[in-house]
Amino acid sequence: MSLDTTTTTTATTLAGNKNDRRLQEFILWCEQKGCELSKVHIKSIDAYKVETPKGHLALLDDDDDDDDETGGGEKEFDRRVYCRTADDDDDNNNSNTNVDAPTKTTMIKKGERILFVPFACCVGTQGLRVGTGGDSLPPFEQATSSERLAAELLRQRDLKEKSEFYPYINALPKVIDSPTCGTWTTEEIKEMQFADAIGTCAKTLARDSVNVEMHFKKEETTATRSCRNWTKKEWAWAMANARSRAVEIDADIGDVGNKEGRMPPSGAFVAPFIDMCNHTHVDPAAFWRPAYSEKKKKEIEGMNLKTTSQHEEAPSEQEQEKNKPDGVELVARRDLEPGDEITVSYAVADSDTFLLFGGFVTESRNPRDTVELWRTLPESATWLSEKLVDAGSSEQNAMAIPLEYSKGVAYAIVEQRRQHILEAMGQNKADVNKFDWDKSGLDESIRAGWNFARDEAHHAMFSFIVQNVMQPDNDNDQLYRQVLIGRITELLQSLPTSMEEDVQIMEQCVSLLDNNDNNNNNDNETRLKALRLKTVCRYRGQKKAILHQWLNFLAKDEMPRDLTAIKNQVKAKEATSSAADELAAML
Task: Quote the pLDDT of residue 575.
Answer: 47
**Which one, of 151, 182, 149, lies nearest residue 53 by Cα?**
182
Task: Quote the pLDDT of residue 411.
Answer: 93
Query: Which element (helix H / strand E) includes 26?
Result: helix 18-32
Position 500 pLDDT exceeds 50:
yes
Task: Quote the pLDDT of residue 90.
Answer: 57
Position 540 pLDDT exceeds 70:
yes
Task: Quote the pLDDT of residue 78.
Answer: 74
pLDDT (mean) for 395-424 = 80
Angle at 337 between CA 334 and CA 339, to 5 degrees: 125
Say which range, 177-186, 239-248, 367-376, has the weakest mean pLDDT: 239-248
Q: Are strands 278-279 and 343-344 parallel, antiparallel or unpaired?
A: parallel
Position 10 pLDDT exceeds 60:
no
Position 402 pLDDT exceeds 50:
yes
Cα–Cα distance measured from residue 555 to residue 572, given in angstroms and rounded to the nearest whole number = 27
Task: Quote the pLDDT of residue 47.
Answer: 53
> What's the mean pLDDT when you consider all of the chain?
78
Position 566 pLDDT exceeds 70:
no
Task: Quote the pLDDT of residue 151.
Answer: 93
Cα–Cα distance measured from residue 564 to residue 264, given in angstroms and rounded to the nearest whole number = 34
- Three-class secondary structure of residue 75 per DSSP: strand
> b/e for 367-388, b at 16 or more Cβ within 10 A?
ebbbbbbbeebbbbbbbbbeeb
**Which one, of 36, 26, 122, lies nearest residue 8 by Cα?**
26
Confidence label for 96 from pLDDT (cuts 50, 70 and 90): very low
Task: Quote the pLDDT of residue 118.
Answer: 94
Task: Quote the pLDDT of residue 520.
Answer: 58
Task: Quote the pLDDT of residue 87.
Answer: 73
Position 543 pLDDT exceeds 80:
yes
Position 309 pLDDT exceeds 80:
no
Position 378 pLDDT exceeds 90:
yes
Query: Which element (helix H / strand E) includes 351?
Result: helix 351-353
Query: Which element (helix H / strand E) includes 458?
Result: helix 456-469
User: Bigger pLDDT: 51 or 525?
Assistant: 525
Say which range, 41-50, 111-120, 151-160, has the weakest mean pLDDT: 41-50
Cα–Cα distance measured from residue 367 to residue 370, given in angstroms and rounded to the nearest whole number = 9
Cα–Cα distance measured from residue 45 to residue 517, given in angstroms and rounded to the nearest whole number = 14
Task: Quote the pLDDT of residue 104.
Answer: 53
**Which one, of 178, 190, 532, 533, lies nearest residue 356 by Cα?**
178
Position 212 pLDDT exceeds 60:
yes
Say which range, 6-20, 148-162, 312-326, 374-388, has the weakest mean pLDDT: 6-20
Confidence label for 332 from pLDDT (cuts 50, 70 and 90): very high
Report whether 177 contacts 359 (CB < 8 A): yes
For residue 403, give every residue at least 6 positions away whose Cβ sits within 8 Å of its Cβ, in sequence order, or none.
381, 382, 385, 386
Cα–Cα distance measured from residue 116 to residue 36, given in angstroms and rounded to the nearest whole number = 5
| Sheet with 286-291: strands ordered across | 113-118, 327-332, 286-291
Report whether 331 contacts 112 (CB < 8 A): yes
| Sheet with 268-270: strands ordered across | 123-124, 268-270, 247-248
Task: Quote the pLDDT of residue 73.
Answer: 46
R_g of the chain, CA atoms, integer Å? 28
Task: Quote the pLDDT of residue 431.
Answer: 84
Cα–Cα distance measured from residue 398 to residue 68, given in angstroms and rounded to the nearest whole number = 71
Task: Quote the pLDDT of residue 251.
Answer: 42
Task: Quote the pLDDT of residue 228.
Answer: 73
**Which one, of 471, 482, 490, 462, lies nearest residue 559 by Cα?**
482
Compute how many other C-beta atoms are within 10 angstroms of the C-beta atom of residue 523. 12
The one-letter amino acid at 9: T
Task: Quote the pLDDT of residue 173.
Answer: 87
**Which one, of 20, 50, 33, lies nearest residue 174 by Cα?**
50
Confidence label for 469 from pLDDT (cuts 50, 70 and 90): confident
Task: Quote the pLDDT of residue 516.
Answer: 63
**Whole-angstrom distance between the N-terminal and C-terminal Cα of the chain?**
67
Confidence label for 100 from pLDDT (cuts 50, 70 and 90): very low
Cα–Cα distance measured from residue 415 to residue 564, given in angstroms and rounded to the nearest whole number = 20
Q: How far is CA 556 from the centre of its chain?
A: 36
Say which range, 61-70, 233-242, 367-376, has the weakest mean pLDDT: 61-70
For residue 428, give every residue at least 6 positions away whose Cβ sits within 8 Å of its Cβ, in sequence order, or none.
422
Q: What percent of the chain has pLDDT over 90?
A: 38
Say which range, 68-82, 403-417, 502-516, has the weakest mean pLDDT: 68-82
Position 349 pLDDT exceeds 70:
yes
Confidence label for 421 from pLDDT (cuts 50, 70 and 90): confident
Report whether 406 contacts 454 (CB < 8 A): no
Q: Are strands 123-124 and 268-270 parallel, antiparallel or unpaired?
A: antiparallel
Report whether 576 contacts 400 (CB < 8 A): no
Task: Quote the pLDDT of residue 93.
Answer: 46
**Could you state, in order of their start, the residue ranges of all structural domains in the chain?**
5-268, 370-494+557-586
Whether the pTM exceeds 0.75: the reply is: yes
The one-letter amino acid at 381: A
Q: Mind spelling out the 3-state secondary structure of 231-279?
A: CHHHHHHHHHHHHHHCEECCHHHECCCCCCCCCCCCCEEECCCHHHCEE
Task: Quote the pLDDT of residue 260.
Answer: 38
For residue 158, give every residue at least 6 positions away whose Cβ sits within 8 Å of its Cβ, in sequence order, or none.
59, 228
pLDDT (mean) for 464-476 = 76
pLDDT (mean) for 539-548 = 96
User: Bigger pLDDT: 463 or 308?
Assistant: 463
Alpha carbon of 196 to those of 66, 183, 239, 489, 522: distances in Å?
A: 43, 20, 21, 18, 35
Say which range, 117-131, 157-171, 555-569, has the weakest mean pLDDT: 555-569
Task: Quote the pLDDT of residue 53.
Answer: 42
For residue 344, give every residue at least 6 positions away whose Cβ sits within 8 Å of its Cβ, in sequence order, or none.
274, 277, 278, 279, 280, 284, 285, 286, 287, 288, 330
pLDDT (mean) for 343-370 = 89
pLDDT (mean) for 543-563 = 91
Task: Quote the pLDDT of residue 286.
Answer: 93
Cα–Cα distance measured from residue 259 to residue 574, given in angstroms and rounded to the nearest whole number = 44
Position 257 pLDDT exceeds 70:
no
Interhelix angle 456-469/476-494, nearest 10 degrees: 120
Query: Which element (helix H / strand E) includes 196?
Result: helix 195-211
Task: Quote the pLDDT of residue 397.
Answer: 39
Task: Quote the pLDDT of residue 289.
Answer: 87
Task: Quote the pLDDT of residue 472.
Answer: 66
pLDDT (mean) for 187-192 = 96
Confidence label for 241 from pLDDT (cuts 50, 70 and 90): very high
Q: How far is CA 405 from the centre of its chain?
A: 40
